[in-house]
Chain A
Amino acid sequence: MTVIATESLSKRYPRVTALDRLSLDIGPGVTGLVGANGAGKSTLIKILLGLSPATEGRAAVLGLDVATHGSAIRERVGYMPEHDCLPPDVSATEFVVHMARMSGLPPTAARERTADTLRHVGLYEERYRPIGGYSTGMKQRVKLAQALVHDPQLVLLDEPTNGLDPVGRDEMLGLIRRVYTDFGISVLVTSHLLGELERTCDHVVVVDGGKLLRSSSTSDFTQTTTTLAVEVTDSDTHPDGTAALRAALTAAGLSLHEGEEQGLPGAGHILLVEATGEETYDRVRDTVADLGLGLVRMEQRRHHIAEVFRDNDQQQLVRKGAGSDGA
């Protein structure tokens, strides 16, 4: 079954082309839509909700044509906007009940579903207090709740992790994952951080300048794009621990990225290692241990959208280089 299908969808404004012959085919599950600001993500969501006509091409959501069935689509789809959208002077319960009724739920059902949904997104006693006093994380949960309250078949989440601290981000990403695994609601989630979508999504679509750059399952991405940042201490035997590790890792057959963070403080002490799988982590750990160095950190780097292009270019260069070496 296809949840979202677009066929050479274009949207042109007098001076900008927001979408340029975009063809997508998105199935059930959690799908990430990645793009820089202005890549056309919000325009796509507007068209999918049937609120803005496409200049050309077609789009269907849950098998319904967006141009003719906008109202029916919006009854079965939930939307969480990127910006603040909550009035501060009402409680989360009152607000979500009102929004449930706006989605066509009868009064009693609206109350029941509101209580259930707020509990599922993790709002308990505080749901009776005015929203104005909530933290950013709690507000994001209310925004998510109003998108889920009418039990849609698909939710469109626009930058749901915006403004959250790392812990809040992880909680929100976990919640988004549960929306599909526990609630059975398909998710289209946008972000400009590829790294966080890799961990949440089954499928990632990358758009840039209104064009489809890449569409593939997340495992493909992880294989080619995960980078480990490694920092080690120096020791008496190895006064420059970083250089020693670099030599050892290269000798062990791992490929290192260069020059990623030059000019930043501490950049010279951080090695960027391309991770091809679980064994890379063990290899780095063992190599550091063999050299007798202290491992200060080893972490996955979050990727920004620009790195997708650069990594692709680099890999092509590396492959060319490897080919000529072999010749």
Chain B
Amino acid sequence: MAPDTSTQIHNIGYRSYEGPRLGRAYARKSLFSQSLRGAYGLGRSAKSKVLPMILFAVMCVPALIIVAVAIAVPGSTDLPLKYTTYALTTQVVIGLYLASQAPQSVSRDLRFKTVPLYFSRPIERADYVLAKYAAMASALFILTATPLLIMYIGSLLAKFDFAHQTEGFAQGLVSVLLLSLLFAGLGLVMAALTPRRGFGVAAVIALLLIPYGAVSTVQAVAYSTGATGAIEWMGLFSPISLIDGVQAAFLNATSAFPGQEAPSTGVGIVYLLVVLGLIAGSYAALMARYRKAGL
């Protein structure tokens, strides 16, 4: 008797895949978006969303207050804080964000030895490093540029001078772009040194805070002893003061150095070269790191 085929449930068994394989560029893009989303806890557990979201909120609240004050105070013609100063005053928040998310981005793959699974696929070392670096820098850029955007929109609502605000906003964006690239590079290098997440967090915080503390102290001493010429050179030795120096020299920013001793244009070029060198160096260091972390 022939079975009634119309009511049978078939075990369809193994089906092979005949569809498109989108290759390296697609894989790199996927890794970038996965890492960027991961930097804000998206696609991860609810617990891992808490810290990045809180820090993001903490970054935005002062901008909202600044805007509210600017609109509320009658007769004001400009925002009470420059666009370029915002990242300097919130550097602790940026540091905490980097310290919590950079290890998350790279230490996990190292610690759980997932890296070989990537490199046994079409993507190469450069694709992996590029995607991770770009994702971390983009995450930092979102963190630092969003408050500037809030301030810019607020200033337009308050009908401040459009050309002046746009110029300041553009300068602020360039500044935080440089900051994002520099901090992302340094943070990832520190985090990739160790598969232990805790060490990574500590290393990133140490890298941002200790040189900054030392530089500020020495600068203050130099200022009080009247050796003001040394101040501009001292700023080369910590990440945040590097950004401070670059934007004070080229982006019309007010320096946070003691006595607002901004670097001259000549020294400013040295600052810019050091920043670009550190960004390139971070990329090279990450490439070297993953040479050994392969299969």
Known: A51-B294, A51-B295, A86-B114. A74 touches B120 (CB 8 A): yes
> Is A261 on the interface with B (CB-CB < 8 A)?
no
> Is A260 on the interface with B (CB-CB < 8 A)?
no
Known: A51-B294, A89-B44. A102 touches B112 (CB 8 A): no
Q: Is there an interface contact between B113 and A81, defined as CB atoms closer than 8 Å?
A: yes
- Chain B residue numbers with a CB within 8 Å of A99 are 117, 121
The CA-CA distance from A206 to B15 in the complex, in Å, is 33
One of B20-28, B58-66, B158-166, B276-284 at the interface: B20-28
A residues 24-77 with Cβ under 8 Å of B?
Answer: 42, 45-46, 49, 51-52, 71-72, 74-75, 77
Query: Helix, strand, loop or mixed for chain B's interface?
Result: loop
> Is B43 on the interface with A (CB-CB < 8 A)?
yes
Q: Is there an interface contact between B117 and A146, defined as CB atoms closer than 8 Å?
A: yes
Q: Is there an interface contact between B20 and A106, defined as CB atoms closer than 8 Å?
A: yes
- Chain B residue numbers with a CB within 8 Å of A94 are 43
- Chain B residue numbers with a CB within 8 Å of A49 are 120, 295
The CA-CA distance from A46 to B294 in the complex, in Å, is 9
- Interface size class on chain B is 35 or more
Q: Is there an interface contact between A104 and B26, defined as CB atoms closer than 8 Å?
A: yes
> Is A83 on the interface with B (CB-CB < 8 A)?
yes
Q: Which residue of A lies closest to B128 (CB)?
A: A102
The CA-CA distance from A150 to B21 in the complex, in Å, is 9
The CA-CA distance from A83 to B111 in the complex, in Å, is 12
Q: Given A51, A89, A98, A109, which contacts B120 in the complex, CB threshold below 8 Å?
A: A51
> Is B119 on the interface with A (CB-CB < 8 A)?
yes
The CA-CA distance from A151 to B20 in the complex, in Å, is 12
In angstroms, how far is the closest chain B Cβ from the Cβ of A133? Answer: 13
- Chain B residue numbers with a CB within 8 Å of A45 are 295
The CA-CA distance from A200 to B192 in the complex, in Å, is 40
B residues 9-61 with Cβ under 8 Å of A?
Answer: 13-17, 19-24, 26-27, 30-31, 34, 43-45
In angstroms, how far is the closest chain B Cβ from the Cβ of A76? Answer: 9
Q: Is there an interface contact between A102 and B121, defined as CB atoms closer than 8 Å?
A: yes
- Chain A residue numbers with a CB within 8 Å of B117 are 79, 81, 85, 99, 102, 146
> Is A294 on the interface with B (CB-CB < 8 A)?
no
Q: Produce 1/0 per residue, B89-131, CB < 8 A to A.
A: 0000000000000000000110011101111111110000000
Q: Residue among A46, A90, A103, A184 with the most chain B CB within 10 A?
A: A103
Q: Is there an interface contact between B19 and A105, defined as CB atoms closer than 8 Å?
A: yes
In angstroms, how far is the closest chain B Cβ from the Cβ of A150? Answer: 7
- Chain B residue numbers with a CB within 8 Å of A103 are 21, 27, 121-122
The CA-CA distance from A94 to B43 in the complex, in Å, is 9
Q: Is there an interface contact between B14 and A183, defined as CB atoms closer than 8 Å?
A: yes
- Chain A residue numbers with a CB within 8 Å of B113 are 81, 83-85
The CA-CA distance from A239 to B24 in the complex, in Å, is 73
> Is A101 on the interface with B (CB-CB < 8 A)?
yes
> Is A87 on the interface with B (CB-CB < 8 A)?
yes
Q: Is there an interface contact between A89 and B13, defined as CB atoms closer than 8 Å?
A: no
Q: Given A42, A86, A182, which contacts B112 in the complex, CB threshold below 8 Å?
A: A86
Q: Is there an interface contact between A102 and B116, defined as CB atoms closer than 8 Å?
A: no
Q: Is there an interface contact between A42 and B295, defined as CB atoms closer than 8 Å?
A: yes
Q: Which residue of A lies closest to B34 (CB)?
A: A98
In angstroms, how far is the closest chain A Cβ from the Cβ of B123? Answer: 6
Known: A102-B123, A104-B27. A151 touches B295 (CB 8 A): no
Q: Which residue of B lies closest to A89 (CB)?
A: B45
Known: A74-B121, A75-B122. A151 touches B16 (CB 8 A): yes
Q: Given B23, B112, B118, which contacts A75 in the complex, CB threshold below 8 Å?
A: B23
Q: Is there an interface contact between A101 and B17, defined as CB atoms closer than 8 Å?
A: no
> Is A88 on the interface with B (CB-CB < 8 A)?
yes
- Chain A residue numbers with a CB within 8 Å of B294 are 46, 51-52
The CA-CA distance from A72 to B31 in the complex, in Å, is 19
> Is A126 on the interface with B (CB-CB < 8 A)?
no
Q: Produce 1/0 per residue, A98-139, CB < 8 A to B.
A: 110111111001000100100010000000000000000000
The CA-CA distance from A72 to B171 in the complex, in Å, is 44
Q: Residue among B14, B26, B117, B120 with the most chain A CB within 10 A?
A: B120
Q: Is there an interface contact between B22 and A71, defined as CB atoms closer than 8 Å?
A: no
In angstroms, how far is the closest chain A Cβ from the Cβ of B92? Answer: 28
- Chain A residue numbers with a CB within 8 Å of B114 are 85-87
Q: Is there an interface contact between A106 and B295, defined as CB atoms closer than 8 Å?
A: no
Q: Which residue of A lies closest to B28 (CB)?
A: A102
The CA-CA distance from A85 to B17 in the complex, in Å, is 25
- Chain A residue numbers with a CB within 8 Å of B34 are 98, 101
The CA-CA distance from A84 to B34 in the complex, in Å, is 22
Q: Which residue of B lies closest to A85 (CB)?
A: B113
- Chain A residue numbers with a CB within 8 Å of B45 are 89
- Chain A residue numbers with a CB within 8 Å of B23 are 71, 75, 104
- Chain A residue numbers with a CB within 8 Å of B44 are 89-90
10 contacts between A and B (CB under 8 A): A46-B294, A49-B120, A71-B122, A98-B30, A102-B121, A103-B121, A103-B122, A105-B21, A113-B17, A182-B14
Other A-B pairs beyond A99-B117, A102-B121, A184-B16, 8, CB < 8 Å: A46-B294, A81-B117, A94-B43, A104-B24, A106-B19, A106-B22, A150-B21, A151-B16
Interface residues of A (CB under 8 A from B): 42, 45-46, 49, 51-52, 71-72, 74-75, 77-79, 81, 83-90, 94, 98-99, 101-106, 109, 113, 116, 120, 146, 150-151, 182-184
Interface residues of B (CB under 8 A from A): 13-17, 19-24, 26-27, 30-31, 34, 43-45, 108-109, 112-114, 116-124, 294-295
Identify the 9 closest CB pairs spanning chains A and B, nearest first: A151-B17, A79-B120, A104-B21, A101-B30, A183-B14, A104-B22, A87-B112, A71-B122, A102-B121
